[in-house]
Each structure stands twice: as structure tokens, then as C-alpha cells.
Chains A and B, each alone.
With several copies, the nearest count.
Chain A
């Protein structure tokens, strides 16, 4: 295992300390339990947004804390959802009297821990809502299963809802907007290499020189199937086809196209994938009204990419464009 770390059990705490040191004006770090809040929290009268999940997906979620996006993020151990006390403490710390919305990725662990925290917060008299993001088309949905995973769509939901919250939306309409984003977003991912969880010390799966893992999540888990290595244009097709078919996206739709890196894939490759995905979207009759390209929701040092497509409304565009001031997503401020 080759990593710039000191010890597996110090990874999360030291990365958080580094983050706090790097962005003193934007975020404040709380420890025991771990959570990050925007520097000016709680913001009186504004609905607060809280998200969280396992660490190892940086910059998500801590890098998205700040004005115009999340009020708090709760980082768990690497690839392990946070505990209810973290979420509860964060929820109380950022509540500005207008309620708190939990944006949760659909993993059993995340859902259960956020649920428990929401129950406890409600017992303490807080107004708490929750939306569970489940945009990963690699997973067959069914009433009888854990359902689809929450992946890239989460980043978009957090930005758009963050913009709306800053603009004064109340908890109910914010939850409705978040649900609308959730209903309008689809993602699919693929790995060229596995990643190594620090305390395990070796990758969860091994890929040959000419193999890719198709339909991965964001936790280094194996995907839906092993396939042979393909050129970037073909990779974009393989990811876009199920995404386009699923919603379905229709000619004339305006979309946000998000090409994400899994952590170890450099920007030069992501732009090559973006070019191909953009061309496929165009051929499908879509208007790519907004774009995002980069490593935003990662799996440690995994090489690979995911594509997320969000069907936009005017309101979503306005909230996407609104100023955001966080460590890793920043514009207009």
C-alpha cells in the first residue's frame, strides 16, 4: 500500500485537521464527534443542509461545506457511514431555527445512521427532513432490495439545494426541490483500478491490465461485471447508454453533464471522456446547459470515472449558478 499517510487509524482525523488548517475562513472542524460546519454557522432563519458519509470520497462532503452549499458534513471512518451522534451534533450545531434537511446517500449504513440521528433530533424538538439520493443506474431498483446507491447526483443535489436554501427556501420546499433533483438525476461509474482501504492494506479486487470493472459504486466494492478495457469513447457510450435510457432523457431536455474522476484519474483523461459524453448527449438531442468535470466524489486513489446527467429546470439552473463558497466548489463569491 503506497499512500501519503502516517497510520491507517489516523487518516481521517489528520485529513480533517489538514482541511481545517487549509480553509480557516470557510469551515470549522469539530472533533469528538467529528463534523465540519461552515464558519458562520448557525445561520439564523436559513434552513440548514447536513450531509455526510464515509471518508475516502474527498472532496465530498467536507469540501462542499460553506456558503451556498452544505452547512455541515459528517465524515465517518473510511468508507463507513458516520454514527448518529455525529449527525445529531452537526444537526444541532447548524440549526438556525428554520429546520434542517439531511441529504443522505442511499446506503443501508448511511440511511440507518441518519434516520437514528433524525429521530433523536426530532425528540429534541428540531424540525428535520431527509432526502435519500439514489441515482446509480448500475443497480437494479426493486421494492425488495436496498435499492440504488447514491453517487454523483449527491454533489449536484447539495449545490442546488444549497443555492435554494441561501435564497430563503423553507424546509418543505427545499425537501421538494431535493426530491425533484433526485428524481431527475442518473449516474453510472467504472473503474480502471481498485483502491486500497488503509486499514485493509490491499485492494478489494484485482483487475488485469486489460480489464475494467463496470457499474461500480464509490466504496471500492466490485461492480456489476468485469469487462475488457475499451477506448474512452466506448467507455462514455457504455456509461451514457443506460443513463439516457433510464430516466429517460428526451430530445430537447436541458441537462447538467458531470464527468467525475474516482480519485486517481487525472483531468486530462476526464476531459477526453467529457468530450465523448458531450457528443453523445448532443446526438441524443440534449442541450448541455451546465457542466462539471473533475474529481468530486471519489474512491480514494481509484482510477476510473463516473458520469452523472441531471435534467435541469430553470430553478435548478438558477440555484446551480448561485454563488458558492466552499473549499472545493467555489464561484461568484
Chain B
């Protein structure tokens, strides 16, 4: 049980994230097929497999996040590539100089990543996007709690946020073209975001 996110824990996060994405690739693509174009699983699998291949042994969290961001941007394509890319690039900026992030430091870092997604994609909560999982994940963090607990709470909030996208009518991304027909399905990006945060909680737990 880690009490700070250092390069080792973060590397473990990405490995678990890649494993989940690979295992759930078909499921994510199916979600995307229902209200998008059916490639979200394949996009992320391509991206996270490239991340694992590229990662090596980064000197600090900033380099690690930057590598992840650049790799996702260079391999994912689609909407989620630049969005998850920005997520990690903004976290890289926020951790500049730190060797490890404890429960007190992490909220600022995750918030910076989510702000990067919002800055790129201009989505608001309720638009039925990954922001609907990411924003609650930030809000649920507790700087005073043990790291494992706050990450578990954050992951649970992300999962609930993802589930809460089901009834929403999409206003951003491909699903928005469907109008009312987009309701009744979970958002694929919110679902993958919840998976990422669950992998983080596991890696640190």
C-alpha cells in the first residue's frame, strides 16, 4: 500500500490501465458503436499498448506523464487521443519537479489534467463525455485522507459519474449527432475514464 504516487506506482497504474483497456476493448467499442462510431476500444488499446512499449524507466513523474501524453496524441487519433493526451500533458506540467505525489498533492495534479481536457474539448458536466467521470473524480478527492482511501473514493465517483451519463442527451462529440437517440447508453469516454481511475486506485491500493 503506497502512500505516494512515485514513478513505480504510476508505472504500475499505466500497466493496469493498459491491461483493463485491452481486456475491455470490445466492450468500449460496443458502447461507442451504439452512439458513436465504434472505435473507442480500438483507439485506446492502440494508444495504451504504445504507451507500455514506449514507457521505459522515466526519471520522474513529469517525464512519465509527458511520454504518456505524447504517445497517446501520436497513436490514438479520434477525439479521445488529443483529450487524454492533454490530460496527461497537463498533469506533467503540474508535477514538474516532484518525485512523488501524496494525497495532499494529487488533487491539484488531477484537477490540472481534467482542466486540460475541458480546455481542449470545451465540454461541460452533463454533456455526456469523459468530463462526466473526470470532474466527479476530482471533486471526491480528500487531501487529508490516506492515499488509498482518497483514490478509491475518486474511482468510485468516476464510476458513478460514468453511470450517470446513461440518461443524458449528448451535446459534445459524435454522440451529439444522434440527438435524443443518444439517451439510454453510457458514454464510452466516461466509461474508459472510470476504468483509468479504477486502475490508479488498484495500483496504489
Contacts and interface: CB of A to CB of B under 8 A. Distances in A.
B186 interface: no
Nearest to A115: B82
Given A81-B78, A112-B121, A146 B174 contact: yes
B192 interface: no
Given A80-B39, A113-B77, A200-B33, A221 B174 contact: yes
A139 interface: yes
A77 B82 contact: no
A6 interface: no
The 9 residue pairs across chains A and B that have the minimum distance between CB atoms: A112-B82, A219-B37, A108-B79, A109-B78, A109-B79, A80-B77, A204-B33, A76-B77, A80-B78
B77 A81 contact: yes
Q: Give the interface SS of chain A, mostly helix, strand, loop or mixed.
A: loop
Contact of A220 (B38, B82, B83): B38
Given A77-B42, A204-B37, A85 B172 contact: no
B149 to A, nearest CB: 35
Interface of B: 29, 33-39, 42-43, 46, 73-83, 85, 120-121, 171-174, 176-179, 181
Contacts of B176: 139, 145-146
Contacts of A225: 181
A81 B36 CA distance: 13
A263 interface: no
8 contacts: A54-B78, A77-B43, A80-B42, A109-B78, A109-B79, A146-B172, A217-B177, A225-B181
**Which of B34, B82, B172, B179 has the most chain A CB within a 10 Å cutoff?**
B82
A76 B74 CA distance: 11
Nearest to A140: B179
A105 interface: no
Nearest to A196: B38
Interface residues of A, number: 39
A81 B85 CA distance: 14
Given A220-B37, A221-B177, A222-B181, A85 B77 contact: no
B37 A146 contact: no
A306 to B, nearest CB: 14
B181 A108 contact: no
B172 A108 contact: yes
Contacts of A145: 171-172, 176
Interface string A44-88: 000000000010000000000000000000001111111111000
**Which of A82, A116, A149, A204 has the most chain B CB within a 10 Å cutoff?**
A204
Given A146-B176, A221-B37, 18 more contacts: A33-B74, A79-B37, A81-B77, A85-B74, A112-B120, A113-B77, A113-B82, A139-B177, A197-B37, A200-B38, A204-B38, A217-B177, A219-B37, A220-B38, A221-B178, A222-B178, A222-B181, A224-B178
Contact of A138 (B74, B80, B172, B177): B177
Interface in A140-159: 140, 142, 144-146, 149
Nearest to B40: A80
